[in-house]
Every structure is written in structure tokens, then in C-alpha cells.
Amino acid sequence: MAAQSPPQVACPTCRKPVLWVATEKFKPFCSERCKLIDLGDWATEAHKIPGPPVWDHENPGRPDADDGQPF
């Protein structure tokens, strides 16, 4: 009975008001386009994160090798 209006959010990409309802498939984005734009931003950020350091097998840099263990 209570005609509650759904909550509204602002699209993170274009700031357009988006109704928080099931029919809004791309919420909190207003459209698929805005969602993809945001994801693209994330991908760009990810490229700035350096990958794991390359392990040098020739030079482990660990003097306490397992060879010394009386196991």
C-alpha cells in the first residue's frame, strides 16, 4: 500500500540519478556504457601496479639454505 519511492543514487561516472530498483541492471551506473567506462578506469589503475618481482634462481640470496639442516 505504501507507495515508497526507491532510493536514488548518482551514477559514479556521469552523476545522473539512478533509481535503486531491480530493473536497473547496471546500478549504481545509469547505463552499461557508464559501467564500462568505470571498469576501464579500474583497468588503467591496475596497470600501474607492478607485477611480482622476478625470482632469481641463480642467486637465491638465502645463505641459510636447506643443505645445512641435519634432517
Give the footprint of Zn ion on this chain (CB under 5 A): 11, 13-14, 16, 30, 34
14 is in an annotated binding site: yes
The answer to whether 30 is annotated as binding is yes
What is the rounded distance in angstroms from the CA atom of residue 22 to the CA atom of residue 46?
A: 30
CB of 8 to Zn ion, least distance (A): 13
**Residue type, position 31, single letter:** S
Q: Kindly tell me which of 17 and 68 has the beta carbon lying closer to Zn ion.
A: 17
Cell of 65: 639454505
Decide: 20 and 8 in contact? Cβ < 8 Å: yes
Q: Is 34 a known ligand-binding residue?
A: yes
Q: How far is the CB of 34 from Zn ion (least distance, A)?
A: 3
Query: Coil, helix or strand for 35?
Result: helix
Residues making up the binding site for Zn(2+): 11, 14, 30, 34
